[in-house]
Amino acid sequence: MSGVLPVAFVASHTGPWQITQISPVVGESLPAASHLTLVEGQGHVLPDPAVWCLRGVVSHLRYTGDAEVQALRARQQPLGRPEARCAALIPIRKNAAWWALPQDVRRAIVEEQSHHIAIGLNYLPGIARRLHHGRDLGEPFDFLTWFDYAPEQASAFEALVAKLRATEEWRYVDREVDIRLERVG
Amino acid sequence: MSGVLPVAFVASHTGPWQITQISPVVGESLPAASHLTLVEGQGHVLPDPAVWCLRGVVSHLRYTGDAEVQALRARQQPLGRPEARCAALIPIRKNAAWWALPQDVRRAIVEEQSHHIAIGLNYLPGIARRLHHGRDLGEPFDFLTWFDYAPEQASAFEALVAKLRATEEWRYVDREVDIRLERVG
């Protein structure tokens, strides 16, 4: 109806992705689980019993400017390439101080100070990503980022994550969990 | 949990606000109803039977810059002043072309071209407003704006609404309904 795609990340005892690691980065972790299923759209039946379920929506861009959109579109790849047998789900919550900042100040921290978009661009097209927004839904995490990549991109992925966590922007992160996965079969 | 306030606007046969008019501005209207109740927060019991229910969340600012936040804070008044016996609920949806624009282009249309924030500022403190976001919730409207004001501000309110509807920004509005209300009792 509104061009927004709801996505549920459901951890249970079965699913197309095997969870290899759940690591707390900042704050409380998530319960252990063996498998994950992505459920896209409304009205689908969720795997039962679920150990946990995180929800978000794929929605419009919040900070990316026109020139950056062009650069991203020229390089980015879709999720689900056959070679992308590794994935990561990184749920993040930012603190109240972040959300109280005006739009221009948040944008300046994201890009002019932290180079978030430019850093991600450096790892395209090898690492594909999709951002899901959970804040307006009252979810425990503001953002769920899903990445997929081929096994030979694993060290590049570690470098990407390490660079982002070292930024000014990450000083506003008050909960972060790092979930790694491998495709089943 | 996340600093976001969910609000439901519930139209039914009873409630603290009497609906005096429901006018379609662009696109489909909403069904006739006599009264409206605002339900804030999670887990409240909604009036039953509801004729319609629109939901949104009070969340962070999406376009307002630092200087504008300071100007707004210096002048704006809270909702619910005793003299504010008139109200308006204006649900709006923007089209797909709007949501596909990059953040900097949307911001430029909102303020540098349409002066949305500056126009609203001119009508403070007489007219109080609160914006609710419904897009990420999959609601039929992207925005629900609630205004309240004293009866002597009624003509100022008409001027405010007319100015906004004449802007470049409003060319992206593909559904708008204008609901006017008076406080009961």
Tens digit of pLDDT for each residue in A29-54? 999 999 999 999 976 667 678 999 99
Q: Which two three-digit tokens encode residue B178?
A: 């204008």
With 50 as the cut, is the pLDDT of residue A1 above it?
Answer: no
pLDDT in tens, chain B (185 residues): 458 999 999 999 999 999 999 999 999 999 999 999 999 997 666 767 899 999 999 999 999 999 999 999 999 999 999 999 999 999 999 999 999 999 999 999 999 999 999 999 999 999 999 999 999 999 999 999 999 999 999 999 999 999 999 999 999 999 999 999 999 98
C-alpha distance from B40 to closest chain A C-alpha (Å): 13
Tens digit of pLDDT for each residue in A149-171? 999 999 999 999 999 999 999 99
Average pLDDT over residues A138-159: 97
C-alpha distance from A99 to closest chain B C-alpha (Å): 6
DSSP-derived 3-state class of residue B164:
helix
Angle CA B92–B95–B97, to nearest 5: 145
B-chain residues within 8 Å CB-CB of A100? 60
| Distance between CA atoms of residues A132 and A8, nearest Å | 10
**Residue A160: per-residue pLDDT:** 97
**Residue B49: per-residue pLDDT:** 80
| A100·B60 Cβ contact <8 A | yes
C-alpha pair distances (Å), A178 with each of A147, A155, A175, B60? 11, 15, 10, 26
| Distance between CA atoms of residues B75 and B121, nearest Å | 8
**Residue B135: per-residue pLDDT:** 96
**Residue A47: per-residue pLDDT:** 67
A-chain residues within 8 Å CB-CB of B137? 136-137
| Distance between CA atoms of residues A98 and A92, nearest Å | 13
Residue A71 forms beta bridges with which residues? none
**Residue B36: per-residue pLDDT:** 97
B-chain residues within 8 Å CB-CB of A65? 102-105
Residue A8 forms beta bridges with which residues? A39, A55
A-chain residues within 8 Å CB-CB of B136? 4, 57, 59, 133, 135-137
Listed in order, strand segments (DSSP E) in A69-112 are 86-94
| Distance between CA atoms of residues B171 and B173, nearest Å | 6
Please tell me which of the candidates A2, A66, A142 has its beta carbon nearest to residue B104: A66
Give the whole-number percent of chain A exceeding pLDDT 90.
93
In chain B, which among 154-183 make CB contacts under 8 A with chain A?
none
Q: How confident is the model at residue A3 (pLDDT cuts 50, 70, 90)?
A: confident
Chain A within 8 Å of B107 (Cβ-Cβ)? yes
Give the whole-number percent of chain A exceeding pLDDT 70.
96
| A136·B137 Cβ contact <8 A | yes
| A136·B136 Cβ contact <8 A | yes
Q: Which of B24, B138, B6 is nearest to B90 (CA)?
A: B24
C-alpha distance from B91 to closest chain A C-alpha (Å): 14
**Residue B161: per-residue pLDDT:** 97
How far the first Cα of chain A sits from its last, in Å, is 35
All residues at 6 or more sequence positions from B153 whose CB lies less than 8 Å from its CB, including other chains: B86, B126, B127
**Residue B43: per-residue pLDDT:** 67
A-chain residues within 8 Å CB-CB of B174? none
B-chain residues within 8 Å CB-CB of A116? none
Q: Burial of A89 by CB count in 10 Å (0-12 exposed, 13-18 middle, 19+ buried)? A: buried
Kindly provide the ipTM of the predicted complex, given to two decimals: 0.90
For chain A, the average pLDDT equals: 94
With 80 as the cut, is the pLDDT of residue A131 above it?
Answer: yes
Please tell me which of the candidates B42, B59, B65 has its beta carbon nearest to residue A135: B59
